[in-house]
Amino acid sequence: MDKARLDWVISGLNQHGLTKAEDVFLKTASEDFDRNQALTEKQEERMEALYKQKSQLTPDKNRSASNGCPKKGKPRRPGGKTVF
C-alpha cells in the first residue's frame, strides 16, 4: 500500500464513527508506515476489511431511498394525423 492509498483509506474511515480500538489501530498503522514506509500484510488486510465494513454501514448519499430503478412512465401517444 502506498502513502496516497493509506491517506485515502484513513480519511474515509475518519468520516465514520470509529471505536477506540479502531482509532488506535489507525494511528498505530499510520505511525508504522511513517517509520517503515510500508505496512505489514496483516495491517493492510485489516485496514481494507475495516474500510469495507464501515462503508457498507452507511448508505450512499447520492442514491435515492426508493426501491431501485425508476418506474417506467406511460408511453406517449402519437399526435394527431399529419396532413400533407
Q: What is the pLDDT of residues 72-81, one digit of tens each?
A: 677 777 777 7
The pLDDT assigned to 78 comes to: 73
* Residues of the domain holding 26: 3-57
Domain count, the chain: 1
pLDDT band at 23 (very low <50, low <70, confident <90, very high): very high
Q: Domain for residue 72, yes or no? A: no
The pLDDT assigned to 67 comes to: 55
Q: Domain for residue 27, yes or no? A: yes
Q: Domain for residue 19, yes or no? A: yes
Q: What is residue 32's three-state secondary structure? A: helix
Residue 68 in this model has a pLDDT that exceeds 90: no
| pTM score over 0.75 | no
CA distance 27 to 30: 5
pLDDT tens per residue across span 34-61? 999 888 999 999 999 999 998 887 655 5
